[in-house]
Amino acid sequence: MRETTDILISGGGVAGLTAACALGSAGFRVICVDPALPVTSDEADGADLRTTAFLQPSIPVLQGAGLWPRLEPHAAALQVMRIIDAGGAEPIARLTRDFDARDISDQPFGWNLPNWLLRREMVARLEELANVSFRPGIGFSRMLVRESEALVTLTDGTRIAAHLVIGADGRQSPVREALGIGAKTCRYGQKALAFAVAHDLPHGNVSTEVHRKGGPFTLVPLPDRDGRPASAVVWMESGPEVARLVALPVSDFEAEMTARSSGILGQLRLISRRSVWPIISQIADRMSGQRSVLLAEAAHVVPPIGAQGLNMSLADLACLLSLVEKHRDDPGVAAVTEAYHRRRHWEVRARVTGIDLLNRASMAEARPLRDLRARALDLLYSTKPVRQTLMRAGLGLGAVGAGTDPS
Ligand SMILES: Cc1cc2nc3c(=O)[nH]c(=O)nc-3n(C[C@H](O)[C@H](O)[C@H](O)COP(=O)(O)OP(=O)(O)OC[C@H]3O[C@@H](n4cnc5c(N)ncnc54)[C@H](O)[C@@H]3O)c2cc1C
DSSP secondary structure letters along 1-46: -EEEEEEEEE--SHHHHHHHHHHHHTT--EEEEESSPPP-STTSTT
CA separation for the pair 45, 56 (Å, rounded): 32
> Mean pLDDT lowest for which of 39-53, 176-190, 195-209, 381-395?
381-395
Q: Assess whether pLDDT exceeds 60 at residue 406.
A: no
Mutate to test the pocket of ligand 1, among 310, 312, 348 (most ligand atoms within 8 A of CB): 310
Helices (H), 156-262: 174-179, 239-247, 250-260
Rounded mean pLDDT of 251-272?
95
Q: 365-382 as b/e, with b when 16 or more CB fall inside 10 Å? A: eeeeebeebbeebeeebe
What is the helix (H) or strand (E) element at residue 83, kind and residue range? Answer: strand 80-85
Q: pLDDT tens-digit profile of 328-370? A: 999 999 999 999 999 999 999 998 998 888 888 888 777 778 8
Ligand 1 binding pocket includes 222 (Cβ within 6 Å) = no
CA–CA distances in Å: residue 316 to residues 62, 134, 294, 337, 348: 13, 21, 9, 12, 9
- pTM comes to 0.92
- High-pLDDT (> 70) share of the chain, %: 97
Mean per-residue pLDDT of the chain: 91
Of ligand 1's listed atoms, the one at least distance from the Cα of 302 is: 15
pLDDT of residue 398: 54
For 60-111, how does the pLDDT look when each residue is reduced to its tens digit (9 = 90+)? 999 999 999 999 999 999 999 898 988 888 888 888 888 888 888 889 999 9
Q: How far apart are CA 331 and CA 326, in angstroms?
A: 8
What angle do helix axes 309-324 and 14-25 make, rounded to 10 degrees?
A: 30
- CA 136 to centroid of ligand 1, rounded, Å: 16
pLDDT of residue 146: 92
* Cα separations in angstroms, 122 against 40, 311, 321: 10, 16, 18
28: which residues sit within 8 A by CB, 6+ positions away?
6, 7, 131, 324, 328, 331
Point out the ligand 1 atom lying closest to the alpha carbon of residue 312. Answer: 11
What is the CA(82)–ligand 1 centre distance, in A?
Answer: 26
Largest CA distance in the chain: 68
Q: Give the DSSP H/E element, type plus range, for residue 70.
A: helix 68-71
- C-beta of 234 in contact with ligand 1 (< 6 A): yes
CA atoms lying within 13 Å on the CB side of residue 76: 25
Shortest CA distance to 7 belongs to which of 178, 176, 167?
167
What is the number of the ligand 1 atom nearest to the C-alpha of 169? 34
13 in contact with ligand 1, CB cutoff 6 A: yes
Q: 195 CB less than 6 Å from ligand 1?
A: no
CB atoms within 10 A of CB 38: 20
Q: At 117, is the secondary structure helix, strand, or coil? A: helix
Phi/psi at 273 (nearest 5 deg)? Answer: -70, 170
